[in-house]
Amino acid sequence: MDADLELDCRGMLCPMPVIELGRRLAEVPIGGTVAVLATDVAARADVPAWCRMRGQEYVGEDTADDGTPRYVVRRTS
C-alpha cells in the first residue's frame, strides 16, 4: 500500500509508535494516508484502536521490504 507519509518506528516500544502517529497525522491532508512501520507487537492492536478512538480510518496491515509490519491509516478529520 502506498502512503503519503512513512513513520519509521522500528525498535520503538509501545506506546511510542502510536505517539508518533498522533503527533504527525496532521502532516498529511484530510484523505491522505500515514504508514507506521513498527516492530513492537502492541502496534498491531494499538494502531486500529487509536483510529477508532480518534475517529480516523484504519486501512490495514502489510509488510515493508525488510519484513517489518506496516500499519496504514487514512486521515478523515
Partner 1 sequence: MTNASGTSGPGPGPVSPAYLDSASSEPLHPAAREILLAALDQGYADPRRLHGPARSARLMLDNAREVVAGCLGVRRDEVTFTASGTDAVHRGLLGLLAARPQGGGTVVASAVEHSAVLHATEWVAGRGVTTTLVPVDRLGRVSVDDVVEAASAGGVSAVAVQAANHEVGTLQPVAEIGGRLDGVPLFVDACASAGRLPLPAGWSTAAASAHKWGGPAGVGVLLVRKGVRWQSPFPGDDRVDERASGFENVPAALAAAAALQAVVAEREELGARQSALVDRIRQRVARIPDVEVVGDPGDRLPHLVTFSCLYVDGEALVTELDRRGFGVASGSACTASTLEPSHVLAAMGVLTHGNVRVSLTRDTTEAEVEGFLAALPEVVRGIRAEVGL
Residues identified as active-site? 14
Q: Is 15 in the site for partner 1 (CB under 8 A)?
A: yes
Q: Is 18 in the site for partner 1 (CB under 8 A)?
A: yes
Asked if 44 and 17 touch (Cβ cutoff 8 Å), the reply is no
d(CA 65, CA 24) in angstroms, rounded, equals 23
Selected from 44, 62, 63, 76, the binder of partner 1 by CB under 8 A is 44
Q: Is 30 in the site for partner 1 (CB under 8 A)?
A: no
Asked if 33 and 24 touch (Cβ cutoff 8 Å), the reply is no
What number of other Cβ atoms are within 10 A of residue 25's Cβ?
A: 19
Binding stretches for partner 1 (CB under 8 A): 13-15, 18-19, 22-23, 40-42, 44-46, 48-50, 52-54
